[in-house]
Amino acid sequence: MSEIEYRTDAHATLDPQARERVIDGGHIQLVTLELGDSGELEDDQGREIHRPQVRCDLRATETRLLAYTLLLLAERAELLRFEPDRAERAAAQESAG
């Protein structure tokens, strides 16, 4: 099993080269999600490390689903930060129902 790598920065763009061919011979534009590191990183011994960016091209439907999921998680994260008791009750109600 491979180890999970983490990145510290994410952004999305429309890259004109990121297209997918469809059955009628045309193309659909894909949304490019790029994960990278912002700023300099060091390993355990203080040496600077450079990691390549990670890229994923998504269809519009996949992008919308990811965006919706991120919005829901962001709202839950804010509740956990500012109102932990309320968020825990909401999570318990979701899992029970």
| Enclosing H/E stretch for 31 | strand 31-36
Domain boundaries defined on the chain: 1-58, 60-97
pLDDT over threshold 70, residue 81: no
Q: For 36-62, what is each residue's pLDDT tens digit?
A: 887 777 778 888 888 888 999 999 999
CA 61-66-67 angle, 5° bins: 95
Residue 27 CB neighbour total at 10 angstroms: 11
End-to-end CA distance of the chain: 34
Q: Which residue has the higher pLDDT, 49 or 97?
A: 49
Please tell me whether the overall predicted TM-score, pTM, comes out greater than 0.75 for this model: no
